Structure 1
Amino acid sequence: MNLELSGKGYEFSENQKNLWLIGNRNLNIFFNEVVLQFSDKVKSDALMNSLRKLLEENEVLRARVLNHENYKYPLQKIEGVKIEIYESADPEYNRTYNPENDSPIRFKIVKKDNFIDELHVKIYSLWADSFSIVNFTNQLSSLLENKKEEEKEKIEYTKFCAWQNELLKEEDEEAKLYWNSKKYNFNQKVYPFINKKNDDFAVEKIKLVGISGRKYEDLKGLAEKNNSSIENFLFYKWSEYLKLFKKQELTIGYIPFYRNYEELKNTLGYVNKTVPITCFKSEDGVHNEGVKNLINEVKEVKEWYDFFTLNREIQSNNSKAKIFKYCFEYIELDKAEKLVVKDFSSIQDPFKLKFSCVNYGDRIELELYFNVGKISEKDSEVIISQTKGYFQNLEKELVITDVENEIINKVNKTSKEFIADKNVMNLIEERTQEYPNEVALRVEENNISYKELEEKVNRLANYLINKKEVVPGNGVAILMKPSEWSIISALAVLKVGAYYVPIDESYPKDRVNYILNDVQCELLISCDEVVDKFEFENINILIPNKIQDYDNNSAYSINVIKEDSIAYCIYTSGSTGKPKGCLVSHKNLYNYINWANEFYFPNDNFGNFGFVTSMSFDLTITSVFTPLTRGKRITIFNEESIVNTIKKAFTDPNIDSLKLTPAHLILLDEFNLESTPIKKIICGGEQLKPNHIDVVKKISNTIQLYNEYGPTETTVGCVAKKIDLESKEKILIGKPIANTQVTILNEEGERCPIGVSGEILISGNGVAQGYLNNDELTSEKFIKSNFSEEEKSYKSGDIGRWLSNGEIEYLGRVDNQVKVNGYRIELQEIENLLNKGENINEAVVLVKQNNNLEKEIIAFIKTEEELSENELRGFLENSLPEYMIPNLFIKVENFPLTINGKIDTIKLLSTTSENIITSSMYVAPSDEIEEKLVEIWENILKREKIGVEDDFFSIGGDSIKAVRIVSEIQQQFNAKVDLIVLFQEPTIKGLAEMVKNELWHEVEENKNEIVDKTVI
């Protein structure tokens, strides 16, 4: 072993090289510290002599860094004894560490009655691990007690460095195969809390729980019950806590507290290293199996421990991360007669969060280390309260703490008194009296004032009552394009106390007829061009602009409208294939409109809307009723195309506000607008993504953009937030609106702690009456919640989670949570990640069943660039486990939209295979064996044109498909091929060579067998 290089110094160990690299040479923050209290009186002279002896016997405590221009990493040199010892008040103890000049170890003494009461020992992590601190303490105790013990075998650290470097140069093939086969995810983001963007590594340690006495015995009993040590049981509980936030397997950095070899047991130095442990998601409540899996994983990793190097493994896993984000350590301290360990701290590597268990012999202290540069103060407050509660009772699951209750309850205190005994029609009437001559509706160049609008509405209302015998509580269908008459008709229906049923004119005939029959509608308000498309039977059709016998009386007193009477019934898609009609009351509508007017237009003069979307889409409620209840105007377009309508809306100086879906925003990219008069955009209907915000910013960075969330069943919107266009944080849906409460429930119907995802349950004044003629579905979706005083709450079917700032993050649909090969996968997570990718305009991720009835994940990518499959997979592999990588990537020019402006997933899934994004280069098979292998791969992977140099695991292969591939090869070629071969040679080219070799060996064996028989 080459101990000394060029007569200058000794080579760093692999551990030191890693720390030097990832610590960016700022090694002051990486140290181990112990606080020792003396049980007997100790004088300064006795202590100094013992410390001097210790430094003499352990050369690593006298080491310095030696920078050498010929080497990538510095060397280490050993110098003479220098004891840095400081009084308790001396700030020099905490001065910045300079590894070239300063001693690796520092001491601080606390005196009591002229004797030393406490000794603080700090050893920087470049030279020592936590196990070294225990060795140091034991050696110091022996010296102070003047024990004459047998000479213990001890290898100096410089010799260990040389041995480790030699070992890793040998490149053990079996070890390399083991570590490369592991699919670790070093870049996982487990905690959903808002991250600070500070790159500095600064640590704060929090003491969570002390376990002693009876509780210590209970912990031992729990561990034994699960056939585990205390260490492994606490490790398992920590992993289960983390997996509450990300319900999938997890990579945790494990800092072992032991020496792998007896010869190193007494060595001081940076010997132990942090290694990755895969913590699999156990079935709910099956702790025994989860602990067993963890124990097996730890045992397996320890077998290959010597050959793990963090930087190499990160490179082989295509990860840009330099650290383990989440770590676990268990430290076991020895009892000494003269020394009592009061406190122990260890910061060996960078991390985001570390759970530390220190066993002091008579108690275990559970502690949490934070990287305060990455976790905000509010987040850390929540995490501390959660972990304290979780580890105080190890037999119970995580429950909501007082800290979390305070945050959630404060956000849900949304009580707001709006003027009683009123409805939106009263508000419009008041604005008419206030602004009779102001423009209410603008159609092309024609203006309709508030007074004129009232007259038209009143005449139609009178006609509905007198000629069509419409009475309060009737449902009246409105089937027409967006126009002044669609608005007039809706207002007239409301005025007579009936409710309107908007139907989009582009609906197919069967759907229209189903709605009319379901409502038992006796009157349909429409227009000539729409009626001509349909053949209606047994229904009274009214075309309001053609009525000849209008009553000249333009006066009308609004009927007394009860707040629980229905205002409108909007039909949305139903899981049975038939649409369902959602009944929204006047109370619901009045609450939303009052809130919207105050939230979106608090103290400004904006609010002149464009009438862009269909009346059958509840998004349009905002565009119609907020301007008319504020004395503002609505501009109506006579355009056939939604694209042209939106383009006109963004260039019309009479419009300053729009309500759109995110998919509508993407259209702005096609318009090449340099500016716009639009000042406010309210987005709803779909999830708002970063690329949508980018499109808005291109036109104007002064537009006020709002994100509004809400199912139709909760009256347009129930949670909202103003978006900061410059923020790089995740896009949230915000907080509950006025008189609305949100609860997030897990699958057992219990409230989810902050950060844990569950189904969004909505209560309050916006919750609709239910579904028309569908009591079964109404009772299923509109429930009495144990967590709300309201009579009913709506189960949204949407997944979300609270964050520590009291806002809600939307995570997708319950039915978007799919299981593929036994893994539960949130498609939204894959989608969100792709939408952050370079050169990706927008991505949508769906699941489709292939011909073998297997579920495949498909990513649809909108991009102007030529992206390769390898690029996309490489990008995703930085953050996602293998089983979440899409099987296919398909390029699209534009996403097809439904009439409501949402992405049409059915059309999207029918996209042809010609648009599949493949590897950057296709290499055709060159012989019969390669051709046969291509055929096997294409059949099993359901892919076309697979090249012989394509990587199996990069084109949709996984361990299950690998088994099928190998089985097929064995049958087709009658050759013995092991499964591991496909992991070693994941290309057809490499696999073909293995098959050829196997066939050649079989031929040779057959020849030998014939020769043997001939001799016999």
Structure 2
Amino acid sequence: MTQTVDSTTARQASRRSRPRSPTAPALAGARRQDAARQGSARAAPPTLVDLFAAQVAARPRAVALSLGPAHLSYAELDERAETLAARLAAMGAGPGAIVGLCLPRSLDLIVALVAILKSGAAYLPLDPAYPGERLAFMVEDADAAIIVASEHADWLPPGRQRLDPHQAEGSKATPSPTRRAAAANDLAYVIYTSGSTGKPKGVAIEHTAVTRLFSATQGWFGFRSSDVWTLFHSVSFDFSVWEIWGALLHGGRLVIVPESTTRDPAAFLRLLAEEGVTVLNQTPSAFAALDRADQDRGGRDRLSLRLVIFGGEALDPRRLAGWYQRRGEHAHLINMYGITETTVHVTYRPLSPIDTQQRSSLIGRPIPDLALLLLDGETMRPVARGEIGEIFVAGAGLARGYLNRPELNAARFVPHPDEPGARLYRSGDLARQVDEDDYEYLGRADQQVKIRGFRVELGEIETALMAHPAIRQAAVLLRSDDGNERLVAYLLSDGAERPSPAALKAHLGETLPAHMVPAAFVFLPDLPLTVNGKLDRAALPAPGRTRPETAAPYAAPRNALERRFAEAVAEIFQIDIVGIDDNFFDLGGNSLLVAELHRRLVRDLPWFGLVDLYRFPNVRALAGHLTPQKPGVLGSLAAARERGLRSRGLPAPCPESASLGGSHD
């Protein structure tokens, strides 16, 4: 068993090699000096396009993008992007415009993204997996007149122009006399995050906010042209900004991870080894699945990782103990706290094995051109060291603001109390300062949560639930009772027949992306209240171990293979029984739980394929598909069970009790 050490001792040992953070006055003075130097040395700071062009000139033949065997050099990427940019400019794209980007993971996705910036416009990522109603809202709210999409989009609002990136191939880029490049203070992108009012809100980020992120952190990371990065995250998640431009601004190679591989930790582990990835960026949840895959492989894969950077959600350092035991400190592990409104990252915290002996989510110190203030949310005065305060962020990384949300901008981008004319971003996150160079993240002060790296306003889900005619009241929580984080909805019906979980999921799926759809639905006679008459979220019960109500009536497993599948699913969801017609995803399954189910089953069935669960999402369909393909499946499973019993000193079952009978209707 790992010995637990005093948290103060662990922090002191961990930070011995860490440089000190500048004080707030010194930071303010440094910002003024930097601004003065920049103003005298050059009138026009570089944009993302400028810095990318420098890499094209320096390394034209180096590989910039790869996806399996396909790849593009820096010169090829630049040429294709320039051709598409000319088409976009001819359609009206330019500084001040926002262009929608709705493409699947592909080389074309990055070509189009670079092309939009080359045209002078900002890109609006539109994940093709999102519901059409949500995509249409974002397009209208951002006033995006042009959408880059390879397929017809029936959700596209009227009056919008759609450009297929393949339509521009073969044509020559003709310089336009009216085309103007973006300036550093022009928008680079708008990313929509969940909104507490029931509608997502667009965060507008300028070029300079991104370029300074890399210049301010280069001394820590030393990114170089030999680095290989992965695009693991959706471009609708701002972690992708760090992945894409971390590679392209330093002459590195960006490996685009196929969607299916992001769902399969074992396949992703193989990709990391085969591609020689050196810089890996992960949410703690995704890395936990990768770590389990590496554990199953015994750490045998030869990895080239030099940096593993965490972000997107709170990190429990204890979960890294196994990785350190297998992999040592060959790769530097770093925790970074960040917010979309402050351009991806705010703080930097290098980790070491001793950190795994404490549970605190330590986020380190702010990036040099940012300041992190802990204030009392009511008085706006600093809290003392060791006391809990709300995180406010100041400095060069702040977003321009939210699109079309003046009231929200006034509430979240507030005047700096000590620097006239400067702004603070009010995060809603809580933390305490544990020493001069370290802060401990403590969670949210409101209803906002993070799940698998996505920021989610629980109020948005509740609003969508109450739009269902049979739901009178709703409350949503993020729970982790069984170690797997999941959203749980607590509902009061209006007296009519209760809708099934499948019907509620279908209703929510019309407006919400998949990561915002609860995994479980609990109907209650009343919602618990505090003595003040407010919802008592702490009193909401954990979902029971009984099988949840589903669209399909219960049907028992009929043979050993179906029983093994049903048992594995029941173990994952901590419920008593699972029927062979119960849909894994209706029970609350997601991509991480798919990986966990695969991990459990592959011990008995080494040939079990992860992709099968997406095609055959219930026990009956999956077993029926596999048995004809693998005639020896049932016998192999029986033998595996017999070996397992004998290994534990238990008698093997007699032939009668080991019968694998049953039909596959």
Supply the distance in 2 between the matched residues of 1:450 and 1:740 (Cα, whole angstroms): 32
Pick from 777, 781, 785: which aligns with 2:412? Answer: 781
Counterpart in 1 of 2:142?
Answer: 519
8 Å contact 1:659–1:681 — kept in the other structure?
yes
Pick from 218, 221, 228: which aligns with 1:597? Answer: 218
8 Å contact 2:520–2:543 — kept in the other structure?
no
Residue 627 of structure 1: how far off its partner (Å): 1.0
Supply the distance in 1 between the matched residues of 2:400 and 2:132 (Cα, whole angstroms): 27
Supply the distance in 2 between the matched residues of 1:793 and 1:570 (Cα, whole angstroms): 20
* SS of residue in 2 equivalent to 1:862: coil
In the alignment, does 2:136 pair up with 1:504? no
Counterpart in 2 of 1:704?
Answer: 332
Residue 651 of structure 1: how far off its partner (Å): 2.9
Residue 637 of structure 1: how far off its partner (Å): 3.2
Residue 861 of structure 1: how far off its partner (Å): 1.8
Residue 593 of structure 1: how far off its partner (Å): 2.3
* SS of residue in 1 equivalent to 2:99: strand
Counterpart in 1 of 2:184?
Answer: 563
In the alignment, does 2:350 pair up with 1:722? yes
Supply the distance in 2 between the matched residues of 1:405 and 1:786 (Cα, whole angstroms): 21
Supply the distance in 1 between the matched residues of 2:314 and 2:321 (Cα, whole angstroms): 15
Q: 1:765 to 1:535 in 2, by over 3 A?
A: closer
Pick from 174, 182, 196: which aligns with 1:575? Answer: 196
Pick from 267, 273, 278: which aligns with 1:651? Answer: 273
Counterpart in 2 of 1:977?
Answer: none
* SS of residue in 1 equivalent to 2:545: helix
Residue 658 of structure 1: how far off its partner (Å): 1.6
Residue 499 of structure 1: how far off its partner (Å): 0.6
Counterpart in 1 of 2:227?
Answer: 607
Counterpart in 2 of 1:423?
Answer: 47
Counterpart in 1 of 2:258?
Answer: 638
Q: 1:527 to 1:726 in 2, by over 3 A?
A: farther
Q: 1:414 to 1:654 in 2, by over 3 A?
A: farther
Supply the distance in 1 between the matched residues of 2:141 and 2:516 (Cα, whole angstroms): 25
Counterpart in 1 of 2:67?
Answer: 443
Letter in 1 for 2:518: I
8 Å contact 1:801–1:808 — kept in the other structure?
yes
Residue 746 of structure 1: how far off its partner (Å): 0.8
* SS of residue in 2 equivalent to 1:786: coil
8 Å contact 1:732–1:809 — kept in the other structure?
yes
Q: Percent identity?
A: 23
Residue 609 of structure 1: how far off its partner (Å): 0.5
Supply the distance in 2 between the matched residues of 1:476 and 1:641 (Cα, whole angstroms): 28
8 Å contact 1:585–1:769 — kept in the other structure?
yes
Counterpart in 2 of 1:584?
Answer: 205
Residue 546 of structure 1: how far off its partner (Å): 3.3
Supply the distance in 2 between the matched residues of 1:721 and 1:698 (Cα, whole angstroms): 20
8 Å contact 1:659–1:683 — kept in the other structure?
yes
Residue 760 of structure 1: how far off its partner (Å): 0.4
Pick from 815, 819, 825: which aligns with 2:446? Answer: 815
Supply the distance in 2 between the matched residues of 1:909 and 1:808 (Cα, whole angstroms): 36
* SS of residue in 2 equivalent to 1:913: coil
Letter in 1 for 2:316: K
Supply the distance in 1 between the matched residues of 2:25 and 2:240 (Cα, whole angstroms): 31
Supply the distance in 2 between the matched residues of 1:736 and 1:470 (Cα, whole angstroms): 36
Counterpart in 1 of 2:245?
Answer: 625
In the alignment, does 2:423 pair up with 1:803? no
8 Å contact 1:763–1:790 — kept in the other structure?
no
In the alignment, does 2:14 pair up with 1:195? no
Supply the distance in 2 between the matched residues of 1:756 and 1:437 (Cα, whole angstroms): 54
Supply the distance in 2 between the matched residues of 1:459 and 1:445 (Cα, whole angstroms): 24
Letter in 2 for 1:632: G
Q: 1:432 to 1:639 in 2, by over 3 A?
A: same
Residue 679 of structure 1: how far off its partner (Å): 2.5
Supply the distance in 2 between the matched residues of 1:558 and 1:681 (Cα, whole angstroms): 40
When structure 1 is superposed on structure 2, of 620-629 and 666-675 the one drifting more is 666-675
* SS of residue in 2 equivalent to 1:627: helix
Residue 749 of structure 1: how far off its partner (Å): 1.1
Could you give the per-residue CA deviations for residues 350-388 of structure 1, whole angstroms, max 9, x where no partner exists? xxxxxxxxxxxxxxxxxxxxxxxx999x9xxxxxxxxxx
Residue 561 of structure 1: how far off its partner (Å): 2.9
Supply the distance in 1 between the matched residues of 2:311 and 2:115 (Cα, whole angstroms): 27
Supply the distance in 2 between the matched residues of 1:594 and 1:407 (Cα, whole angstroms): 20
In the alignment, does 2:104 pair up with 1:481? yes
Residue 559 of structure 1: how far off its partner (Å): 4.0
8 Å contact 1:761–1:793 — kept in the other structure?
yes
Letter in 2 for 1:811: L
In the alignment, does 2:314 pair up with 1:687? yes
Residue 479 of structure 1: how far off its partner (Å): 0.9
Residue 551 of structure 1: how far off its partner (Å): 2.0
Q: Name the TM-score, length of structure 2 as normaliser.
A: 0.62
Q: 1:708 to 1:731 in 2, by over 3 A?
A: same
Q: 1:853 to 1:494 in 2, by over 3 A?
A: closer
In the alignment, does 2:665 pair up with 1:665? no
When structure 1 is superposed on structure 2, of 765-774 and 701-710 the one drifting more is 701-710
Letter in 2 for 1:770: G
* SS of residue in 1 equivalent to 2:274: coil
Could you give the per-residue CA deviations for residues 834-889 of structure 1, whole angstroms, max 9, x where no partner exists? xxxxxxxxxxxx9999x9999999651238xxxxxxxxxxxxxxxxxxxxxxxxxx
8 Å contact 1:495–1:558 — kept in the other structure?
no
Q: 1:726 to 1:406 in 2, by over 3 A?
A: closer
8 Å contact 1:663–1:902 — kept in the other structure?
no
Counterpart in 1 of 2:643?
Answer: none
Ranked by relative contact order (alpha carbons within 8 Å, sequence separation 6 or more), the top structure is: 2
Counterpart in 1 of 2:519?
Answer: 907
8 Å contact 1:744–1:759 — kept in the other structure?
yes
Q: 1:790 to 1:808 in 2, by over 3 A?
A: farther
Give the number of the structure whose alpha-carbon radius of gyration is greater. Answer: 1
Counterpart in 2 of 1:540?
Answer: 161
Residue segments in structure 2 that go unaligned for 5+ positions in a row: 452-457, 463-471, 485-508, 523-541, 548-574, 577-665
Supply the distance in 2 between the matched residues of 1:408 and 1:759 (Cα, whole angstroms): 17
Counterpart in 1 of 2:588?
Answer: none
Could you give the per-residue CA deviations for residues 321-346 of structure 1, whole angstroms, max 9, x where no partner exists? xxxxxxxxxxxxxxxxxxxxxxxxxx
Supply the distance in 2 between the matched residues of 1:548 and 1:412 (Cα, whole angstroms): 49
8 Å contact 1:663–1:901 — kept in the other structure?
no
8 Å contact 1:743–1:761 — kept in the other structure?
yes
8 Å contact 2:86–2:173 — kept in the other structure?
no
* SS of residue in 1 equivalent to 2:446: helix
8 Å contact 2:21–2:437 — kept in the other structure?
no
Counterpart in 2 of 1:286?
Answer: none
Counterpart in 2 of 1:765?
Answer: 396
Supply the distance in 1 between the matched residues of 2:109 and 2:513 (Cα, whole angstroms): 19
Residue 483 of structure 1: how far off its partner (Å): 1.7
Could you give the per-residue CA deviations for residues 681-712 of structure 1, whole angstroms, max 9, x where no partner exists? 11111001124423533552222111111110
Supply the distance in 2 between the matched residues of 1:705 and 1:526 (Cα, whole angstroms): 37
Letter in 1 for 2:123: Y
Residue 915 of structure 1: how far off its partner (Å): 6.1
Supply the distance in 1 between the matched residues of 2:179 and 2:225 (Cα, whole angstroms): 28
8 Å contact 2:185–2:207 — kept in the other structure?
yes
Counterpart in 2 of 1:733?
Answer: 363
